[in-house]
């Protein structure tokens, strides 16, 4: 176990002005508090926070962060309190330790909701101070390094959570080395056979290629030095999980991989990077399609480097990364690389200053913005995972602004990446000046122009097309809000009519006074609940006006012999139709499925303009429109509070079709169905569905669902079908 002076020396080696007294005090305090506690391995528990602190010294972090690492388990696992830590170490360190404690209390839960809530808390804590993330990742890394000491039934769960959340999060923060080690440790637990096989193959390859890395390093260094460029060349073997992932993605065997070894060329300036590239490309053959310039176009996690692949000195493919020393530090340590020490400032202050310019931190803030806009923890975790795991594609706005998106992204994702309001009003796009479908997959370098309309609302189907979490969450919110507004409008219509029939005053002020009584948070919620049929209009009237006597909510039962409908085709079935009082102008206007009021049409027959119609409002189905002759109304005969007076309100300038159903009996002969379809098509009808319900030797009966403009249109089709010699009978079906 590392001694106290050794830890202090590790910090002062890169930060001579570190607060040694703080480090000593944190070391002694944590060691005393953890006392005789032990880990699953049997080691003293204090060895864990000490190793976490050691990992952070490798990232060259400030002394305050190292102190937090030493103290991060004290509140959770000892009798230490936040107040005590504030008193001894200061409020800043106390706040960080408490933030890590709140996160840990939900760690490693099997339930998805708890894991998601844990992730929310982690990101909320990070947005206050990014050092929480650095300590948390170091904590997870040490736990993964010692995972073999955990009970077997817990290992897979911990490794899976690490692979799904912590490793990609480290990658998005630019901490590539930490990401690779977390992935490799998780891979060894989750797929031990594959890990062992790859490790064995790599060992064999290493033995065969003994001295290869050294030879290539020396050859590259010599060729670059000949051109007067000082460079350091470092080679390394790829990790087993990195190789496994490439084999899976490219469907390759181990023997087919050509870039198991990677080399970094590190120089002093950006200009030298391009000079080295010229030396390499003029000395060795390049592999087509394997060049990427992340210096001119950095990745979203601040990564900058030039990538190229050549056929090297031993006629073997070599993957090269060319970068400056600063770029190399950012590539290895990511956001932690901003903890640079200047002018005697502490690393913590510099982290706060430099992360304001960090693209990785910008992504983190956007993610937090998604969290704050009302998604459930499960949705938030799902959407964030989508962004964590995708590689990137770079596109441009017409004004030249660079937008980084996951691979597979569409113009819908692009629109939401620019701004949520642009996504919500998107109706089309131009890619490189050409009109293209919104489902088109974007490619690197595409210029994307979004066509907008303020009348647009994003269709729910877009959620299945979008790739980014931001787009999916925004579409889901817009859909919910649109549905909420529609039901709210319907609820307001119903309430206004109910208050008018009851001869009672109606206002939003009166509704506000009964929100608590009706268990609603706002007037909008109340109106939507009424629109969905969850709360009856009579219930609201009685809540606002307790003296109101419900007289069947204005519904008057017909006298004997009145208001009865005798169905000719219903085997003499009779039932009572409640008649709603009021003028036709009081009835709800119904336009169709595309109208402002959310409605359904009778599922077994529909309804068309020209029918006398009524509405039935139920919590399960919302408002369903039935023709007055529908036998289905019988089941609502004694539930008068569900009946809603409605009327057609057809927009002549924007006509739409309505559903109707017919039953056709026709001769069972070739061409019979074609003749029926021809009549429907020639008369402008549209067949939505067709089902054979009975077939005998001479005749067959079919049920046809049509889309027609109105009752006259439907009757014209029926009458012309009846004139056909191969048609025996045609009747309209009213379900």
CB distance 26 to 33 below 8 Å? no
Q: Are strands 579-580 and 588-590 parallel, antiparallel or unpaired?
A: unpaired
Within a domain: 164: yes
Closest CA to 139 of 182, 172, 102: 182
DSSP state of 210: T
Mean pLDDT of 108-132: 60
Q: Is the pLDDT of residue 114 over 70?
A: no
The pLDDT assigned to 83 comes to 92
Mean pLDDT, residues 662-686: 91
> Beta-strand (E) ranges in 209-278?
232-237, 261-267
Query: What average pLDDT does range 329-348 have in this prediction?
Result: 57
CA dihedral 31, 35, 41, 42 (to 10 degrees): 130
Phi-psi region of 503 (alpha: psi -120 to 50; beta: other; left: phi over 0): left
Residue 261 covered by a domain: yes
Backbone φ/ψ region at 35: left (φ over 0), alpha (ψ -120 to 50), beta: left
Total structural domains within the chain: 6
> What is the tens place of the pLDDT at every residue in 52-100?
999 999 888 888 999 999 999 998 889 999 999 999 999 889 888 887 8
Kindly report, residue by residue over 680-719, the tens digit of the pLDDT. 999 999 999 999 887 777 888 999 999 999 999 999 999 9
Higher pLDDT, 252 or 143: 143
Domain boundary (441, 467, 493) is at 467
Could you say which of 20, 76, 107, 382 is catalytic? 76
pLDDT-based confidence at 560, cuts 50/70/90?
Answer: very low
Pair 198, 243: CB distance under 8 Å: yes
The pLDDT confidence band at residue 559, using thresholds 50, 70 and 90, is very low
Confirm if 128 and 169 have CB atoms less than 8 A apart.
Answer: no
Arithmetic mean of pLDDT over the chain? 81
Position 668 scores a pLDDT of 86
Burial of 382 (0-12, 13-18, 19+ CB in 10 A): middle
Please indicate, yes or no, if residue 355 is contained in any of the structural domains.
Answer: no
CB-CB contact of 598 with 483 (8 Å): yes
Confidence of residue 343 (pLDDT cuts 50, 70, 90): very low
Question: In angstroms, rounded to a whole number, what is the distance separating the alpha carbons of residues 372 and 380?
Answer: 10
What is the CB neighbour count within 10 angstroms for residue 489? 18
Tell whether 277 and 319 lie within a shared domain: yes
Between 360-374, 531-545, 629-643, 667-681, the lowest mean confidence (pLDDT) is in 360-374
Helices (H) and strands (E) in the chain, counts: 29, 25
In a domain, 370, yes or no: no
What is residue 499's predicted lDDT score, i.e. its pLDDT?
87
Shared domain for 485 and 565, answered yes or no, is: no
**Same-domain check for residues 70 and 186:** yes
pLDDT of residue 354: 44
Mean of the pLDDT values across residues 192-216? 86
Higher pLDDT, 116 or 452: 452
Which tops the pLDDT comparison, 530 or 679?
Answer: 679
Are residues 293 and 226 located together in one domain of the fold? Answer: yes
Catalytic-residue membership of 413: no
Rounded to the nearest 10°, the torsion over CA 636, 642, 645, 648 is: -80
- The yes-or-no verdict on residue 9 having pLDDT over 90 is yes
Each residue of 23-36: b (16+ CB within 10 Å) or e? bebbbebbbebbee
List 426's β-bridge partners, or say none.
Answer: 452
Q: What percent of the chain shows pLDDT beyond 90? A: 31
CA distance 680 to 555: 40
pLDDT of residue 167 exceeding 60: yes
208 with 167, same domain: the answer is no
Q: Angle at the Cα of 341 (from 338 to 342), degrees rounded to 5?
A: 115
Give yes or no: residues 626 and 569 share one domain.
yes
State the catalytic residue, choosing from 77, 84, 293, 656.
Answer: 77
CATH classification of the domain holding 413: 3.10.20.30
Assess whether 587 and 451 both reside in one domain.
no
In a domain, 719, yes or no: yes
pLDDT at 113 over 50: yes
pLDDT of 558 above 80: no
Same domain for 57 and 171, yes or no, is yes
pLDDT tier at 554, thresholds 50, 70, 90? very low
Are residues 97 and 233 located together in one domain of the fold? no
> What is the per-residue pLDDT for 351?
43
Domain match, 245 and 97 both: no
The residue ranges of DSSP E strands in 205-258, in sequence order, are 232-237
361 domain residue, yes or no:
no
Domain end residue (candidates: 161, 191, 221) = 191
Tokens of 561: 């012999």
583 located within any domain? yes
Q: So what's the pLDDT on residue 345?
A: 39
Crossing angle for the helix pair 469-501 and 377-389, nearest 10 degrees? 150
Give the CATH number, domain containing residue 91: 1.10.3210.10
- State yes or no: pLDDT of 112 exceeds 70: no
Catalytic residue check, 586: no
Domain boundary, last residue among 492, 519, 550: 550
Dihedral through CA 666, CA 671, CA 674, CA 679, nearest 10?
Answer: -60
Residue 376 maps to a domain? no
Instruction: Return the pLDDT at 344.
Output: 35
Do residues 154 and 296 share a domain?
Answer: no
- The parent domain of residue 513 ranges over 479-550
Q: What is the pLDDT of residues 14-51, one digit of tens each?
A: 889 999 999 999 999 999 999 889 988 888 999 999 99
- Same domain? For 211 and 185 the reply is no
């Amino acid at each position: 176990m590392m001694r106290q002076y050794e830890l202090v020396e590790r910090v002062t080696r890169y930060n001579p002005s570190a607060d040694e007294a703080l480090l000593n005090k944190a070391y002694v305090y944590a060691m005393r508090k953890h006392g005789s506690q032990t880990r699953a391995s049997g080691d003293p528990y204090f060895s864990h926070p000490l190793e976490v602190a050691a990992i952070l010294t490798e990232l060259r972090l400030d002394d305050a962060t190292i102190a937090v690492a030493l103290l991060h388990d004290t509140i959770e696992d000892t009798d230490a309190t936040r107040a005590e830590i504030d008193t001894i170490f200061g409020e800043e360190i106390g706040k960080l330790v408490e933030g890590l404690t709140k996160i840990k209390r939900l760690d490693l839960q099997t339930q998805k909701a708890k894991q998601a809530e844990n992730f929310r808390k982690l990101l909320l804590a990070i947005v206050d101070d990014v050092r929480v993330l650095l300590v948390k990742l170091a904590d997870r890394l040490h736990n993964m390094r010692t995972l073999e000491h955990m009970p077997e039934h817990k290992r897979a769960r911990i490794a899976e959570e690490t692979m799904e959340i912590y490793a990609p999060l480290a990658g998005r923060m630019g901490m590539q080395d930490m990401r690779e080690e977390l992935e490799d440790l998780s891979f060894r637990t989750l797929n031990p056979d594959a890990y062992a096989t790859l490790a064995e193959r790599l060992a064999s390859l290493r033995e065969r290629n003994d001295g290869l890395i050294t030879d290539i390093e020396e050859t590259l260094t010599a060729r670059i030095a000949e051109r007067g460029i000082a460079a350091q060349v470092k080679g390394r073997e790829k990790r087993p999980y990195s190789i496994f992932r490439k084999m899976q993605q490219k469907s390759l065997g181990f023997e087919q991989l050509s870039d198991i070894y990677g080399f970094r060329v590190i120089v002093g300036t950006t200009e030298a990077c391009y000079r080295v590239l010229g030396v390499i490309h003029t000395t060795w053959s390049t592999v087509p399609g394997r060049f990427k310039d992340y210096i001119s176009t950095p990745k979203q996690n601040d990564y900058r480097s030039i990538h190229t692949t050549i056929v090297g000195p031993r006629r073997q493919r070599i993957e090269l990364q060319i970068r400056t020393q600063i770029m190399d530090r950012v590539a290895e340590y990511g956001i932690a690389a901003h903890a640079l020490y200047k002018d005697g400032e502490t690393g913590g202050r510099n982290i706060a200053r430099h992360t304001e310019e960090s693209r990785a931190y910008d992504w983190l803030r956007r993610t937090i913005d998604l969290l704050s806009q009302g998604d459930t923890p499960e949705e938030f975790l799902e959407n964030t995972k989508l962004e964590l795991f995708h590689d990137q594609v770079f596109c441009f706005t017409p004004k030249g602004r660079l937008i980084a998106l996951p691979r597979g992204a569409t113009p819908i994702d692009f629109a939401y990446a620019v701004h949520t309001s642009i996504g919500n009003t998107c109706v089309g796009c131009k890619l490189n000046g050409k009109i293209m479908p919104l489902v088109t997959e974007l490619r690197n370098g595409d210029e994307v122009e979004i066509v907008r309309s303020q009348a647009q609302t994003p269709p729910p189907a877009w959620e299945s097309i979008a790739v980014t979490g931001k787009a999916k969450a925004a579409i889901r919110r817009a859909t919910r809000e649109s549905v909420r507004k529609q039901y709210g409008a319907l609820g307001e219509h119903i309430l206004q009519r109910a208050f008018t029939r009851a001869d009672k005053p109606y206002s939003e002020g009166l509704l506000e006074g009964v929100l608590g009584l009706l268990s609603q948070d706002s007037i909008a919620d109340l109106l939507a609940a009424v629109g969905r049929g969850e709360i009856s209009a009579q219930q609201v009237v009685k809540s606002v006006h307790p003296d109101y006597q419900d007289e069947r909510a204005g519904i008057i039962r017909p006298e004997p012999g009145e208001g009865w409908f005798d169905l000719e085709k219903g085997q003499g079935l009779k039932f009572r139709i409640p008649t709603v009082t009021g003028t036709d102008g009081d009835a709800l206007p119904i336009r169709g499925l595309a109208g402002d009021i959310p409605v359904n049409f009778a599922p077994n027959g529909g309804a068309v303009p020209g029918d006398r119609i009524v509405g039935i409002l139920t919590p399960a189905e919302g408002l369903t429109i039935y023709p007055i002759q529908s036998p289905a109304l019988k089941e609502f005969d004694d539930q008068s509070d569900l009946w809603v007076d409605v009327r057609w309100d057809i927009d002549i300038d924007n006509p739409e079709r309505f559903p109707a159903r017919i039953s056709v009996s026709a001769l069972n002969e070739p061409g019979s169905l074609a003749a029926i379809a021809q009549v429907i098509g020639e008369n402008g009808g549209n067949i939505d569905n067709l089902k054979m319900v009975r077939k005998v030797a001479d005749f067959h009966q079919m049920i046809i669902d049509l889309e027609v403009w109105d009752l006259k249109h439907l009757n014209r089709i029926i009458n012309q079908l009846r004139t056909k010699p191969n048609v025996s009978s045609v009747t309209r079906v009213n379900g």
